[in-house]
């Protein structure tokens, strides 16, 4: 089974620029998550989708971050404008269902550096 | 809110040494507990899990037991290898939430020959 695909792997931008990340989950996984992992910290959930609907975006800085999953499959996370503190690895994950015993499958992440 | 606390790293061991990485949690209900591992340059991988009290998760020689009375899920391995060098994350899923996975800060393990 193919894993969770993310692109790009790396991105360097200047502050105040915009950037977008793409994620394609495992086929059939209804739930998709975006996490932010700042260096030296554990991943923090930004947004969770169930099919194409948002389930939890309480930790998403909505003044600059946005995400969509229009057809309930792949997803895009955007930052506009970027700040220095947005430098992090952005991880996408998916899960088959809301069964809390299954855990998630993570992609390799996109490492963003804002200079 | 729910949270996970891990011992601070880095943990530095010689090959074949015994490993323990402590993890405790705070949750309102009875969460499922996980250990994830992140090897250098790679994504997060599920290492093991336990879904109810007294369950023992195990994989690749690693073990962890869900202890409700001490709210702990410590990771152990009897004999570490250089290839075990990675960052280890303890995590939980809150049964009352939307299957939200909450992570600890991670513990870096370095194993030397």
**Two tokens at A71?**
């057809």
Cβ of A56 and B104 within 8 Å? no
| pLDDT tens digits along B72-99 | 999 999 999 999 999 999 999 877 667 7
Q: Which residue of A has its CA nearest to B57?
A: A101
Find residue B14's DSSP bridge partners: B112
Q: Where are the beta strands (DSSP E) in chain A?
A: 5-7, 10-13, 19-24, 31-37, 44-50, 53-56, 65-68, 75-79, 88-95, 105-106, 110-114
A105 CB neighbours in chain B (<8 A) are 46
Average pLDDT over residues A78-88: 97
Contact A50 B98 (CB under 8 A): yes
Q: What's the confidence (pLDDT) of residue B41? A: 81
Q: Among B45, B51, B104, whose Cβ lies nearest the Cβ of A101? A: B51
Under 8 Å CB pairs connecting chains A and B tally to 62
State the Cα–Cα distance between residues B42 and B84, nearest whole angstrom: 13
Question: CB count, 10 Å around CB of A94?
Answer: 23
Please give the Cα distance from A3 to B46 (Å, whole number): 13
pLDDT in tens, B34-59: 999 999 888 899 999 999 999 999 99
Kindly state whether A50 is in contact with chain B, defined as any CB-CB distance less than 8 angstroms. Answer: yes
Residue-wise pLDDT tens digits, A30-80:
899 999 999 988 999 999 998 889 999 999 999 999 999 988 899 999 999
């Amino acid at each position: 089974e193919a894993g969770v695909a993310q692109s790009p792997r790396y991105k360097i931008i200047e502050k105040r620029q915009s950037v977008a990340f793409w994620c394609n989950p495992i086929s059939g996984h209804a739930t998709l998550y975006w996490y932010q992992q700042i260096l030296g910290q554990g991943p923090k959930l930004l947004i969770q989708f169930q099919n194409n609907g948002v389930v939890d975006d309480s930790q998403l800085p909505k003044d600059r971050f946005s995400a969509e999953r229009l057809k309930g499959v792949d997803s895009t996370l955007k930052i506009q404008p970027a700040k220095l503190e947005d430098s992090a690895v952005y991880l996408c994950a998916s899960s088959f269902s809301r069964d809390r015993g299954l855990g998630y499958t993570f992609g390799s992440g996109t490492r963003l550096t804002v200079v | 809110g729910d949270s996970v606390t891990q011992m601070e790293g880095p943990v530095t061991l010689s090959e074949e040494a015994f490993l323990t990485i402590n993890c405790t949690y705070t949750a309102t209900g009875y969460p499922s507990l996980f250990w994830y591992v992140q090897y250098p340059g790679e994504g997060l991988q599920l290492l093991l899990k336990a879904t109810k009290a007294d369950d023992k998760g195990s994989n690749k020689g690693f073990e962890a037991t869900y202890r409700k009375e001490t709210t702990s899920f410590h990771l152990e391995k009897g004999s570490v290898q250089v290839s075990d060098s990675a960052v280890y994350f303890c995590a939980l899923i809150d049964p009352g939430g939307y299957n939200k996975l909450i992570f600890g800060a991670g513990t870096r393990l370095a194993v030397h020959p």
